[in-house]
Amino acid sequence: MKTNSNIALQEIGITGGEEDGVNNEDVDNNSLYTQPEDILAIYKALSPISPYFSIAAGFGNVHGVYKPGNVKLHPELLGKHQKYVKDAIGAKEDKPVFLVFHGGSGSSKKEYLDAIGYGVVKVNLDTDLQYAYLTGIRDYVLNKKDYLMKQVGNPDGQDKPNKKYFDPRVWVREGEKTMSARVVEGLKDFNTANQL
């Protein structure tokens, strides 16, 4: 078998919630937790091909954000999974598996840090980032509403042009700013700010 240096991500189990038209909101809760045997099987299958792979194992994760208490994350399972793989392959390192935290939006800093402590190397925050992007645009539109209703005429005068307000480069930039701020917050939460 030929090895390569590509990085692969294997998602196993089910991530709850809804994303990209796939709705797992009504799945049995037990389906949200990957079994250690599954992680070991993926590890054994991918290891001969490349050392560069990660596994997104379910530990109660859901896509989207839900009311606090509705999501039951158990990052401690990741530690048990690491030990299972370590023992099975005789690894020297305590965390032989690179893990991914799918459905990380809305999680607490403690949940992030617990998962990272068990070997998570990537956290997905798609829903948080989408919402952060929206807030910049939403707030801009709400604050500049009287300048966005027509091309000419605003509270400063009926002959005043509004192009500098409705130009997409202006309001899209507001979304970029709020999304960037959320990325910075995440990097701080993950203790990775200012690191390469």
In the chain, what is the straight-line distance between the N-terminal and C-terminal CA atoms, in Å? 33
Predicted pLDDT at 7: 80
CB under 8 Å, gap of 24 or more: what pairs does 136-139 form?
136/174, 136/175, 136/176, 136/177, 136/178, 136/179, 137/171, 137/172, 137/174, 137/175, 139/174, 139/178
Task: Give the pLDDT confidence of 160-177 residue by residue, as tens digits.
Answer: 999 999 999 999 999 999
Q: Which helix (DSSP H) or strand (DSSP E) does residue 172 occupy?
A: helix 168-189
- 25 has pLDDT over 70: no
C-alpha–C-alpha distance, residues 147 and 109, integer Å: 39
Rounded to whole angstroms, how far apart are CA atoms 14 and 102?
10
pLDDT in tens, 133-143: 999 999 999 99
Q: Is the pLDDT of residue 105 over 90?
A: no
Residue 111's region, left for phi above 0, alpha for psi from -120 to 50, else beta, is alpha
pLDDT in tens, 113-162: 999 999 999 999 998 999 999 999 999 999 999 999 999 999 999 999 99
Work out the average pLDDT over 1-16. Answer: 71
Q: Which two tokens stand for residue 122?
A: 């990537």
SS3 for 146? Answer: helix
> Looking at residues 88-114, what average pLDDT do you find?
92
Give the tokens for residue 176.
């970029």
Q: How confident is the prediction for the chain on average, in pLDDT?
A: 88
- Given this model, what pLDDT does residue 67 score? 66
On the question of pLDDT at 23 being above 70, the answer is: no
One-letter identity of residue 147: Y
Q: What are the φ/ψ torsions at residue 33 (nearest 5 degrees)? A: -120, 115
What pLDDT is stored for residue 29 in this prediction? 61
Q: Which residues pair with 16 in a beta bridge?
A: 62
| Predicted structure pTM score | 0.83
b/e sequence 66-95, b meaning 16+ C-beta within 10 Å = eeeeebebbbebbbebbbbbbeeeeeeeeb
Q: Has residue 13 got a pLDDT over 80?
A: no
Give me the pLDDT at residue 188, please. Answer: 93
What local confidence, expressed as pLDDT, does residue 155 receive?
97
27-71 confidence digits (pLDDT tens)? 666 667 889 999 999 999 999 988 899 999 988 887 777 666 667
DSSP secondary structure code for residue 84 in this structure: H
Provide the pLDDT for residue 62. Answer: 77
Instruction: Say what the pLDDT of residue 10 is.
Output: 80
